[in-house]
Structure 1
């Protein structure tokens, strides 16, 4: 006997990816409901590559009673309305928005990093999915922290436009086309031209000069991994369609060499080490698209501190940064608590 699963926001980039991953991983679902707003009700979406079609239902009229999981990819405002209703009906919400991430009664989960934290889900019947840039970073940090205790992380991100949704991807495409034909590259979704440019600004600015995206990386890393870790983040939007990259400098309390770090990362769950130290011996965003792993390359000693290394980290932000992590949370919850699948 399998689960009854809801995917809310099934017409968006992340919702569609959730459906692909549920199919790819053969998630034990007896029934899947796909939800969206009234504008999309009645349309059909693909369930993986099998050719199976699922008809979209209006989330406003959906009764969540009797459903096991709801994977939410509908944004904070809609989540604020629907998540409590689903949770109260006994349907556990796995939410991709930022709404509940820092709620002390809501677990913030990356299954390879803090699976035990999911045990607190019963307080609200809601589980939060972390920010896309945080998720891949903590997967890479976890084995290193366990071995040598991380004191400080300085991270610069190179985040793809898909992190801003379909509108971000459309804007990069349209601006690139317009520039090639000599037309104006008008900025609509982003604050400045994104084609052939980089923008050191993601989300709103805070009083201290950082952005909310940078704050998320700091606060979420502390909640997921260790509250004593200091994090300094600079988040940059780059003209890449899919795949976030990060350059990390990590300082440890205890000695850890680059060679030792490579050995740890090579065996770490969710990590794929590709570090040949030769032309092309590293992973770029284009190569990570469609993959499950968090790829780590360019591992090297940092001579500016007593115990430090630097590395390069790449992942498909629509997968590990969002949809894959949500499905992995559902799998983890099933294993630890529901045990319903055959």
Structure 2
């Protein structure tokens, strides 16, 4: 027996990826509804070979549906997620709206699956920020072994994390660099993204950090351990899909690079590709369409007593969003709904 699934925001990048992953992972779907705003009403989406037409989110009745995967912004989520939850449909939300609510579990299934039990307080589960999701998959098994004191992370985040308009802006600016007179002024970003990097993601906060950097701090503490100290610098780079992170970890106990490599090789959701030779590492373009979070460049940090450096790459539309949401739905099936 399968589940009755709703995908909210099905016409967007993440919504379409959710449909792809439901099909690829053979999630047991008995019935599915794809919802969008009225301007996208009737747009066709695909679930495997099945063509689906979007229904109107504004008038949809969530009664009798099991799980709703939300891939819309915080404003729409604020309006519609409580309606779905009140109707008995469990919401898995990809926006930032509920991530820091103490009554809403923030889940990465490889890291804190037991937190799923907290869903019942509001009938809502939060999906973490894309940059946090891939990082904690790598941190959790290492924290279990040697206890992490501090993390310093610099991110290299693709434009797909901003949405379709950002993808178009990078593409059009790139073409414009080669065609005189067809230059494209930045609209999505504050500066040109083509052939450039922008150390600014989300809004600035009073302490000089950006909201994206704050998210990585707060979410890592909620998912793994409130005592971990995290400092982040988040940077947008001219890559279409795939986030990369250079992560420096300081542990309470000594752990050598070989043990780190062995632990990560056995950890769920991780693929280690770490050869000390030309090309012996994974780059964003190689992770697109993959489920795994890839770890490379594992090495000791000799500047601190118990330090490790590593390189972490993942498809941000997958593990950073759609894949993690579907994995939460799978976890719900095993732990809560138990329909098969």
SS of corresponding position for 2:109: coil
CA offsets, 1:233-290, max 9 Å, x none? 0000000000000000000000101111000000000000000111000000000000
Match of 2:70 among 69, 72, 96: 72
SS in 2 for 1:33: strand
Q: Structure 2 residue aligned with 1:117, among 115, 118, 128? A: 115
Secondary structure of the structure 1 residue equivalent to 2:21: helix
How many Å apart are 1:46 and its aligned residue? 1.3
2:102 equivalent among 88, 101, 104: 104
C-alpha separation in 1, matches of 2:261 and 2:225: 22
Q: What is the Cα deviation at residue 44 of structure 1?
A: 1.0
Report the CA distance between 1:302 and its aligned residue.
0.2
Q: CA RMSD in A?
A: 0.5
Within 2, Cα distance between the matches of 1:185 and 1:197?
A: 14
1:54 correspondence with 2:52: yes
**Residues 149-228 of structure 1: matches in 2 within 5 Å?**
149-182=147-180, 183-228=182-227
Structure 1 equivalent of residue 27 of structure 2: 27
Q: What TM-score does the superposition give when structure 1 sets the normalisation length? A: 0.99
CA shift at 1:40, angstroms? 1.2
| Equivalence map 1:76-91=2 (5 Å) | 76-91=74-89
Structure 1 CA distance for aligned equivalents of residues 339 and 65 of structure 2: 12
How many residues matched?
339
> Given that residues 11 and 43 in structure 2 are in contact (C-alpha distance below 8 angstroms), is that contact kept between their aligned partners in structure 1?
no
Residues in 1 aligned to 2:237 and 2:290: alpha-carbon distance in whole angstroms? 20
1:107-150 C-alpha deviation (Å, 9 max, x unpaired) = 00000000001110000000000000000000000111000000
Residue matched to 1:10: 10
Instruction: Provide the residue aligned with 2:326 in structure 1.
Output: 327
CA shift digits 1:8-37 (9 cap, x unpaired) = 000000000000000000100100100000
**3-state SS of 1:301 partner:** strand
Using the size of structure 2 for normalisation, the TM-score is 0.99
Q: CA deviation at 1:184?
A: 2.1
Structure 1 counterpart of 2:128, from 118, 124, 130? 130
Q: How many angstroms apart in 1 are the aligned matches of 2:280 and 2:42?
A: 47
Question: Residue deviations 1:135-191, cap 9 Å, x none?
Answer: 000000011100000000000000000000101101000100111102323100011
CA distance in 2, matches of 1:70, 1:168: 26
Aligned-partner Cα distance in 2 for 1:100–1:124: 10
Secondary structure of 1:84's match?
A: helix
